[in-house]
Amino acid sequence: MDFNFLSFTHSLLRYGVLLTVLFAFVVSLRGWLMGRPILTGERIATIIAMVLCHIQLVVGLILYLQNLSAFNRMEGVHQRFWKFEHIGTMILAIALITVGRMLSKRAKEESAKQRMIAITYGIGLALMLMATPWPFKEVGHGLGWL
52-56, 68-72, 102-106: segment of lowest average pLDDT: 68-72
pLDDT of res. 140 = 74
pTM attached to this predicted model: 0.90
Domain that holds residue 63: 3-140
Q: Within a domain: residue 146?
A: no
DSSP H or E run through 57:
helix 40-73
pLDDT tens string 20-30 = 999 999 999 99
Q: Within a domain: residue 145?
A: no
Mean residue pLDDT of the chain comes to: 91
Count of structural domains, the chain: 1
Q: Are 37 and 104 a contacting pair, CB within 8 Å?
A: no
pLDDT tens string 70-88 = 887 888 888 888 888 999 9
Long-range contacts, 86-90 (Cβ 8 Å, 24+): 86/131, 86/133, 86/139, 87/60, 87/61, 89/127, 89/128, 89/130, 89/131, 90/56, 90/57, 90/60, 90/127, 90/128, 90/131
